[in-house]
Chains A and B, each alone.
Chain A
Amino acid sequence: MSKTVKVPTMAEYMAQGKKPEVLFWVGCAGSFDDRAKKITKAFVKLLHNANVDFAVLGTEESCTGDPAKRAGNEFLFQMQAVTNIEVMNAYEIKKVVTACPHCFNTLKNEYPALGGDYEVMHHTQFLKSLLEEGRLKVEGGKFKGKRITFHDPCYLGRANNVYQAPRDLLQKLEVELIEMKRSKRNGLCCGAGGAQMFKEPEPGNKDVNIERTEDALETKPDIIAAGCPFCNTMITDGVKNKEKEDTIEVLDIAELIANAQDI
């Protein structure tokens, strides 16, 4: 990474007696998965560029419990949730932003009943608000005129009815946004949700990510845009399976915005 951006932790802020504007919840994929780490870095660059006063939990962050809950392990989920809530409440967190729709859904919808009440935003919603406040400039740059299709993450779209924010950002990039035959509320899953990411699929005649990648390829895109680290992995695998990885990139919205202006 050419330009290293300082990422402060909540503990450091606390030591200085400061509170950040927003907590960036990195998530497990964003912290550990090599592909997703690039999304994390791109998003951090954007936050920095827009002068957002943010911090991360760092080593105090732990899995939200989403995959455990969807796998049926409510006990493990609640242990994770209560522990995370204790940490966040100790730091008096008010606002959280995350680049993972699964973390987003869990923090936003399932933490309040356990005592964790925060304003939670997906990074596309947050970036859009920065744009509206004039803090972030999103311009065409190198993606201007490119054919881009957006894959709706289930946990952002159907689960929480957020369809517009990522599309509005793409429009700002002056790309040619082409919808797949199944999009928005009819969007097809990438195959990773409900803890499927962590197991082999049940016997069938096709993998879900291949089916979805075929939807995307039908639009003859230059780039497939995603808003979820797991969708990103699944569709990247699908593109490789179709041997199209040399001509089609799979990029997160944050990466598209950051790369467009070479931030």
Chain B
Amino acid sequence: MQYIPNILFTIILAVGIGYFIKNIRKIIRNIRLGKEVDRTDNKKERFNNMARIALGQSKMVRRPISGILHIIVYLGFIIINIEVLEIIIDGIFGTHRIFSFLGEFYNFLIGAFEILAFLVFIGVILFWIRRNVIKLKRFWNPEMKGWPKNDGNLILYFEMVLMTLFLVMNAADLQLQGLGADHYIKAGAYPISQYIAPLFSGMTEATLIMIERGAWWMHIIGILVFLNYLYFSKHLHILLAFPNTYYGDLKPKGQIDNLEAVTKEVMLMMDPNADPFAAPAEDTEEEIPEKFGASDVMDLNWVQLLNSYTCTECGRCTSECPANQTGKKLSPRKIMMDTRDRLQEVGDNIDKNGSFVDDGKQLLTDYITPEELWACTSCNACVETCPVSISPLSIILDMRRYLVMEQSAAPSDLNNMMSNIENNGAPWPFNQMDRLNWNNE
């Protein structure tokens, strides 16, 4: 009978981690629905980017208030996880504070965790105030209605509850240590929970053990629930920020890739020796002509899809976007959210049917309208400001390519501009032969 808690704990842990891994595999599968793009080059630079941007949070602090608050919560999250390791070992083997043999160092650790937990709690409260009381504009854009708003708040509540449980557990433990209860060896330093402990004075040992155990169990189960919540939330960035910054684009921001499929066609057209009536070689299979640009998530590359799962909807991109600031419908954050939501829909479709069955929907028009796409000035403000190296611009441009090259659906002004370039080598209707006239005027 005495092993029941250990067994129960191990089962809960296995289910919690197992379900999480199952969903992570789904995400990896969904990301792989994207087209191939080679990001195996410059490993050193990529590694440095990941270390600087994701681990070092270098772009977060460009906005000092949210940046510093975020670093506190981030450090707290990472460091307090050492404590979770102890909880897991204690849970499986039925021990109590297994690391307490570390003596003074253990006291230091527990003390540090407590201070961090308290700072995280304060940080999260301030985040909540920024969202719900100050109502910062970027958290109230149209795309933030409904689930995205609730998701943002839910994450904050989760963290508040987890930090509270951690501190309550320690406070009850401290009280039990004072009573000299069995198992509750004197260990740890409690700079924060010592102020909670007086609330428990006068309680019986049994009540205190119930509070301590209750908080312990709810804390670890809470962590597992939170872990599994990630998959359903924007909060995946805590994991995906690392690969996303590693695989980020290293080229100058102004450089857009030259579509290879187009290069082939153009080179053929420019080759004076090419036979325009040539039949395809006998032994080559009839190739399906590649689709130009993107109308759905499968037309995007896997890094763009990884971008979409990494986005945590902070909205810095949208707040810097010149189109959005002047009241246009375009919001770079919405581009990322739509891409993710559509990708998730496609993934669910695959789960249900074994392979993707046409659902009559696509990313273009059903999620992202041409009006949004045509409002972009390609200024790269969104790319520059993203703290985790996401490029909404690359998706916008790929979708414009589809509109223009597959559907000939450019705004008529742009069609005029393009036919001018085609006919006379300039976006305006001037004769190419007049190019040097400025010199004689």
Contact = CB atoms under 8 A, between A and B. Distances in A.
Task: Please say whether chains A and B are actual partners in one complex.
Answer: yes
Given A68-B418, A75-B405, A202-B328, A63 B379 contact: no
Given A37-B441, A79-B269, A7 B436 contact: yes
A72 interface: yes
A133 interface: no
A75 B379 contact: no
Contacts of B265: 75
Contacts of B436: 7, 9, 31, 56, 58-59
A129 interface: no
Given A32-B430, A199-B413, A206-B325, 13 more contacts: A58-B436, A59-B432, A71-B404, A72-B397, A74-B293, A82-B266, A110-B256, A185-B384, A186-B381, A188-B322, A188-B325, A202-B323, A202-B371
Interface of A: 1, 4, 7, 9, 26, 28, 30-33, 37, 40-41, 44, 56-59, 61-63, 65, 67-83, 86, 105, 108-110, 113-114, 154-155, 158-161, 185-186, 188-189, 191-208, 210-212
Nearest to B270: A82
15 contacts: A31-B438, A37-B441, A63-B425, A68-B421, A71-B418, A72-B402, A73-B418, A82-B267, A114-B263, A158-B379, A158-B384, A159-B254, A160-B254, A195-B417, A198-B427
Nearest to B385: A186
A27 B424 CA distance: 13
B435 A113 contact: no
Contacts of A199: 374, 411, 413-414, 417
A96 to B, nearest CB: 16
A88 to B, nearest CB: 14
Interface string B401-434: 1111100001101101110011001111010111
B266 to A, nearest CB: 4
A121 to B, nearest CB: 14
A202 B252 CA distance: 28
Interface centre among B375, B381, B421 (most CB of A within 10 A): B421
Nearest to B404: A72
A254 to B, nearest CB: 14
Size bin of chain B's contact surface: 35 or more
Interface of B: 251-256, 258-259, 262-263, 265-267, 269-270, 292-293, 320, 322-323, 325-330, 371, 374-381, 383-385, 397, 399-405, 410-411, 413-414, 416-418, 421-422, 425-428, 430, 432-439, 441
B322 A208 contact: yes
Contacts of B266: 75, 78-79, 82
A123 to B, nearest CB: 15
Would you call the interface of chain B mostly helix, strand, loop, or mixed? helix
B423 to A, nearest CB: 11
A158 B397 contact: no
Given A105-B255, A202-B329, A208-B322, A74 B401 contact: yes
- Ranked nearest first, the 7 interchain pairs of A and B with the lowest CB-CB distance are A159-B254, A194-B378, A72-B400, A205-B327, A62-B425, A204-B327, A189-B379
A41 to B, nearest CB: 7
A37 B369 CA distance: 38
Most interface-central of A72, A78, A80, A110 (chain B CB within 10 A):
A72
Nearest to B439: A7
A108 B252 CA distance: 10
B322 A189 contact: yes
B403 A200 contact: no
B326 A32 contact: no
A57 B439 CA distance: 13
B316 to A, nearest CB: 11
A70 B263 CA distance: 16
Contacts of A7: 436, 439
Contact of B426 (A62, A155, A210): A62
Contacts of B433: 59
A232 to B, nearest CB: 15
A212 B380 CA distance: 16
Contact of B414 (A33, A63, A198, A204): A198
A113 to B, nearest CB: 5
